[in-house]
Amino acid sequence: MSLLEQKTGRRVFLFSAPPASTDAQWQTVAASLLKANPSLARYDPHEPRCTAYWAVLPTLEHDVEGVYRVSLDYSEATRPLTEPDPTPRTGVQEFLHALDVGSHGSERKESVSGTVALFSIGASPDSPSIPISRTVTFVEPTLLAPRLDIASAVAEAIGMLPPLRSPDWDDLGRWLVSSECPLLALGVYETHLDHAAGHRKLKMEAVATMQRGLTAGPVRQLAQDTSARVHAALHAGNLSDAEAVLAQYDQQPGHQPRTAAMLRRRLESARRHAAADQKRAADARQAKEDRYSCQLLCGLHMVELCNNDKVLWNRSGRTWEATPCGKRRPEPFLVECYRQQWLTGTFHESCLLPCQGTADGRDKLMRILQDAGCVRESS
């Protein structure tokens, strides 16, 4: 928290889980709001179609100007070293090694990935997000070895988000009404706005929206069912299914243009996120390919085939010797073997073309060379 406060220059409140409409404190506030408006007694205080509770409830409990939502996945794995670490040990490492303190002959890999999203009260409610992806590997870590600095990764991502602006509570309330969160909008009105005539219109719109929701009947149920189906499809990553559900909803006599527009905005947002994810994956693949070209990988593979052909060694009257991956040896029978790999077309036809032709071909070659210890697994 202190690192985030330094980064943002503001006081930070920490919520262990995203606030929800089921929170006891909000239920008390909601009951009070509905009691003050008897015509809304049957209104559902959970507002199942409202997705803004995680961002807005903290503003009703604390004097905040924005909400950051941090979603992270962390993993840690230890595995044996495929080759000795050539880096000389420090004096402390030698001392700990002598005491048998640490993980000798192994490496530890820590990874964290996820996103940081910002809901700014004074800007567009569409939540911008920054991806987080960081991996560190420690060879033969001791008890004093550092850990992956997750707080620093989060603070760095927050620093890439736009700055917070002064809250515009009236605009937020109107956005909540249009986003099927009228009760939450009423809470914003009662908490942050005075009862001046210019602001009372927001209360009237929120109450009127809730009253229409009580009388909508089948129309409301249709909208709820459609919203649930669209959200389920988006959650599963089936954007085409979500589009089909929306197309069906548009053909229904009781469809609500506001609901359809809201769902279509979320579909478009999901498409943008999917496109961004695809671009990041493509960039990662390209970076991997730039590091290990098919020409280089196949060259290593051809040399490995010759160096590890024990029948060839025996036929040449030599005892097989282990050779570092990709190293060409001077023995005449191996030099000829290397040459034949290119002359016979093995290099081009059996390795280069499959590697360049499909991602599966390249991945298969990478796995072979990784198992042989020729190339490191990408982080």
At 29-54, the pLDDT tens digits run 899 999 988 888 888 888 888 888 88
State the residue range of the domain holding 324. 292-371
- Distance, CA of 48 to CA of 372 (rounded, Å): 54
> Given 239, 262, 288, which residue is the final one in a domain?
288
- Distance, CA of 156 to CA of 213 (rounded, Å): 43
pTM exceeds cut of 0.85: no
Q: Specify whether 229 is located in the same domain as 299.
A: no
> Given 253, 288, 323, which residue is the final one in a domain?
288
Q: Specify whether 302 is located in the same domain as 272.
A: no
Number of separate domains in the chain: 2
> Given 225, 254, 288, which residue is the final one in a domain?
288
Going from the C-alpha of 50 to that of each of 45, 56, 377, the distances in angstroms are: 10, 11, 43
The per-residue pLDDT for range 295-335, each reduced to its tens digit, is 888 988 999 999 999 999 999 999 999 988 888 999 999 99
Q: Specify whether 268 is located in the same domain as 309.
A: no
**If pLDDT is split at 50, 70 and 90, which confidence band does 255 have?**
confident
pLDDT of residue 113: 93
Q: Is residue 351 predicted with pLDDT exceeding 70?
A: yes
Please indicate, yes or no, if residue 110 is contained in any of the structural domains. Answer: no
Helix (H) or strand (E) holding 10: none
Q: Specify whether 282 is located in the same domain as 303.
A: no
Please indicate, yes or no, if residue 87 is contained in any of the structural domains. Answer: no
Q: What is the mean pLDDT of residues 174-178?
A: 91
Please indicate, yes or no, if residue 144 is contained in any of the structural domains. Answer: no
Please indicate, yes or no, if residue 328 is contained in any of the structural domains. Answer: yes
Nearest by Cα to 304 from 337, 331, 272, 280: 337
